[in-house]
Structure 1
């Protein structure tokens, strides 16, 4: 590995020289909003040259870079650990810890777009078959926080994770999202909590089925009503508080992948019969599932919706990509409906015929509890786990998912800093939700 590191360091020397002028120019400039158009144009040209150099280096040496960072794929790193290791080993390839710390303090429209350089890096890692596969498997591990909480959860059957609560009732783990002031909108903190909650449900042997549902709201318009999800918190996005690594990538590669593919434990813990711990999951949709909320439904084994609820994916109107929805919705709902929903923002009411393409059962709001309980009993059957695993494997092979995520990693990073996104989200800087 020392020889590999030395040869990579030498290979990075020339591209790093090409990338350096962008930082030199930036050092002498005022903040983005105070620059002249000429200053910004000069910086943009240097940044473009830097990104060309980084992309070319990673296209040629991507697998070797990953091997150097993970000691030949023997070390499993989380997303933030991997990009920090890259910054330390190959200065200038990705933003440094200090650079990202300064960037996080800025509103989205004031940032320099350093997360685009992280996007170039992760896209390159995922494009490599061996590196990408190892990275995806690494992110299916249980989080350290879940391992710390497991004993208490198994003993008491409940845990409060802040933006959500997990409670074991019979054979089910009920994950209830409790972000009432924002209509259960998704932010960095909720994504981290969801990762832990899913881990706990999968690690507890007494849990046979996971259930995700939104809690009751305090928002004046929906006070006392349950809401499934309002999607991404656009106020946080405008304020620069939505992280590319800890939200946009971790969400898809962390807890959502664990729901679909299961939890990967250390070698030997599961014996030879299985590589992951998998369990069926139920989504109970009250009021609406917007954006990321609707995306979630595509990986659940049973979706139960209240008759007064609706589904929508307004990401195209917001300017971003709706996660893995572009891969999964066409398979579920077909080409035409998918384009209506993703490209035109069509809302589908639960009572419409097309709603049956994304949910299994529509009941009156007062009957939701009973419907969920009946679904838990049905999905707790012993053969369900093996069959849902085979269905998921057939519908979305890991290689298909890896290839999609390699392109998504880059394109979502670019969309995060696109001008139209800035224009559309700025109006949300003083609003907590949209519905």
Structure 2
């Protein structure tokens, strides 16, 4: 089943997560197919920029917790969540966000170089509500994008904000009327494609250079959490649509 669609628009590859029945949540199939789409972007010299979006006005609700409970992984070794968050891409990638960008969905957007958002989009990192941390780049990247205490509020409360508020915080590059994020992202992609590809790749390499070490440290902390009873309880409570009962174990 195709759960990630691609469309070439000029020198831009439009990549769409297409699981609207699950609010475009990321399971193993999405991760594998998204990684393949990014490989296509990287390997084709006539493609200069990628735009990542989600079907039916939802970017992504993040990790598919029901799939995770069965042991299915939304990560690709060496490439991180969704095959994107730790991938070493040389070409610019723009997130076009409508609707929910929650948890891993928000982290997919943070893994992109630019973000365009509809004014009523919802950004949030609710992992702490499930006994987890935002280990797909949220803990590492968000404090570098907005002021420290605002980032900590995101990470510690798990509460979302709108695309409009994200624009006020400087978290996104463009805020658009609802439904226009992909079109504006494609226009922005055209501007990026006018520039020298080697220079764009060099900028990305330098800016992202310090992140690999941070992800290595984070993996150790995440491993400990994943062995806890609270993580299992958080995921089970979500699947059963009830409040979790934390034990701190």
Question: Which bin holds the TM-score, normalised by the shorter protein?
Answer: 0.7 to 0.9
Query: Structure 1's 366 and 429: CA in aligned 2 closer, same or farther, altered over 3 A?
Result: closer
How do 1:145-164 residues align onto structure 2 when only pairs under 5 Å count? 162-164=2-4
Q: Which has the higher contact order (CA 8 A, sep 6+)?
A: 2
Equivalent residue, structure 1, for 2:38: 198
List alignment gaps of at least 5 residues for structure 2. Answer: 242-249
Shift of 1:238: 2.4
Shift of 1:186: 0.9
Kindly name which structure, 1 or 2, has the bigger radius of gyration based on alpha carbons: 1
Shift of 1:252: 4.8
Which consecutive segments of 4 or more residues in structure 1 shift more than 6 A?
Answer: none
- Residues 1:359 and 2:167 aligned together: no
SS at match of 1:257: coil
Equivalent residue, structure 2, for 1:286: 98
How do 1:114-133 residues align onto structure 2 when only pairs under 5 Å count? none
How do 1:210-225 residues align onto structure 2 when only pairs under 5 Å count? 210-216=50-56
- Preserved CA contact (<8 Å) 1:239 1:429: no
2:223 alignment partner, one of 413, 416, 419 = 413
How do 1:4-403 residues align onto structure 2 when only pairs under 5 Å count? 162-216=2-56, 226-242=57-73, 246-247=75-76, 250-252=79-81, 254-258=83-87, 261-262=88-89, 278-322=90-134, 323-352=136-165, 355-383=168-196, 386-387=199-200, 389-390=202-203, 392-393=205-206, 395-397=207-209, 400-403=210-213
1:182-237: CA deviations, max 9, x gaps? 10001112111111110001111221110101012xxxxxxxxx210001111122
CA distance in 2, matches of 1:356, 1:391: 22
Number of corresponding residues? 240
Structure number with the higher helix fraction is 1
- Residues 1:425 and 2:238 aligned together: no
Query: Structure 1's 166 and 204: CA in aligned 2 closer, same or farther, altered over 3 A?
Result: same
Equivalent residue, structure 2, for 1:150: none
CA distance in 1, matches of 2:109, 2:120: 17
- Preserved CA contact (<8 Å) 1:249 1:409: no
SS at match of 1:284: strand
Query: Structure 1's 353 and 242: CA in aligned 2 closer, same or farther, altered over 3 A?
Result: closer
List alignment gaps of at least 5 residues for structure 1. Answer: 1-160, 217-225, 263-277
- Please, what is the CA RMSD of the aligned residues? 2.4
Shift of 1:306: 0.7
1:146-166: CA deviations, max 9, x gaps? xxxxxxxxxxxxxxx711111
Query: Structure 1's 422 and 176: CA in aligned 2 closer, same or farther, altered over 3 A?
Result: same
- Preserved CA contact (<8 Å) 1:286 1:309: yes
TM-score, scaled to structure 1: 0.51
TM-score, scaled to structure 2: 0.86
